Amino acid sequence: MALLEKAYAPYTGPEEFIREWTDRIWVRRGIGLIRENYAADAVVHGAYGTTVGVEPVVRGTLERISAFPDRVGQAEDVVWEARGDDAFVSSHLILSTGSHSRTSRYGPPSDRPFASRAIATCLYRGGVMEEEWVVRDEYAIVQELGFDPEQAARELAFTEGLGLGDVPAAPLAAGVSGPRPDAHRAECEHVLGLIEEVWNGRRLDLVADYTERDVLCQTPRHSEATRPDGYQEALLDLLAPFPDCRIEVLDLAAQHADRHGGLRVAALWLLSGTYQGIPRYGRTTGGPVEVLGASQFLFHQGRIVRETRIYDELAVLTQIVRARGDQP
């Protein structure tokens, strides 16, 4: 089914729609345009919980632009897929750069530069945002600006649970963004197999069955791992603090674009476990942790050649310091 122009008007397609609206709001500072771009009752899921309504989005954007007025969000990739004839879901990989020249929630201006990635998964219908799932590498920003991540985590509010609703039973057919077309089935099944067999099944010895020899894995805090052995180590960084965890896929989107190197599969996922393993985030608590994450996989000849994996370690730390009873 062809996507109608009203889904992305007045632009040439969903990718230009996403890029231009992001620039209008974040680069040109048209903050009030969020009220046109988002539905009045838009639902936004983040690493710290879920909000309903457009005004929290306006307030949050105003706060971020005020703290980082020279911030530029560069679109590294936009993976989109139709959801009917008037809607699409997009996985927008953003590289943000700027400096901390004004007071922010983390403290007084440090005048230090920062760079951080985020992935925003957005459901648009008739050119209006209905629901969003956004994850940012906020830990990298705090660290690069010279602030103490644990202190920052103590000051952040975390709701009881992320409010994501039910986990889809068959994300290949329908995820949290709705029923999806039967597109690029082999690659989508490949990603689901990797997550189920290697991530959840702990069969790290099978990484090479899913990736090319020269695979690159980009993870939070600008970490990069190469080749299957490096991919294993990056995965251990995610799993080892929560050794009983399970990762559920919430949504999938797949698209081929020459501009971005070919076929990419975007996966939105949720890790649930207990912090009882490697003390990567300080003293273990044995308490529950939820991690909202997103990955974009680039394929070459049927195998994964690159994964960009984003999750908010500051949000993880916020849950942990709360479980420890730490006070601001």
Tell me whether residue 164 is in a domain: no
Number of domains in the chain: 2
Residue 81 above 80 pLDDT?
yes
Tell me the pTM: 0.96
What was the pLDDT predicted at 165? Answer: 86
Tell me whether residue 100 is in a domain: yes
Tell me whether residue 168 is in a domain: no
What was the pLDDT predicted at 183? Answer: 93
Of 97, 127, 155, the one marking the end of a domain is: 155
**How sure is the predictor about 64, in pLDDT bands with cuts at 50, 70 and 90?**
very high
Residue 1 above 70 pLDDT?
no
Tell me whether residue 211 is in a domain: yes
What was the pLDDT predicted at 162? Answer: 83
**How sure is the predictor about 134, in pLDDT bands with cuts at 50, 70 and 90?**
very high
Q: What angle do CA 257, 260, 261 make, to 5 degrees?
A: 85
Residues 236 and 295 in one domain: yes
Residue 41 above 90 pLDDT?
yes
Residue 71 above 80 pLDDT?
yes
Which range of residues forms the domain containing residue 290?
Answer: 174-323
Find the mean pLDDT for residues 4-14. Answer: 97
What was the pLDDT predicted at 3? Answer: 95
Residues 77 and 182 in one domain: no
Tell me whether residue 160 is in a domain: no
Question: How far apart are alpha carbons 276 and 264 in whole angstroms?
Answer: 34
Instruction: Report CA-CA distances (Å) from 26 to 56, 69, 75, 194, 264.
Output: 16, 9, 12, 35, 26
Residue 260 above 70 pLDDT?
yes
Find the mean pLDDT for residues 271-283. Answer: 97
What average pLDDT is seen over the chain?
95
The CATH code of the domain that includes 125 is 3.10.450.50
What was the pLDDT predicted at 160? Answer: 67
Tell me whether residue 169 is in a domain: no
Tell me whether residue 53 is in a domain: yes
Residues 39 and 115 in one domain: yes
Pairing of strands 72-82, 211-219: unpaired
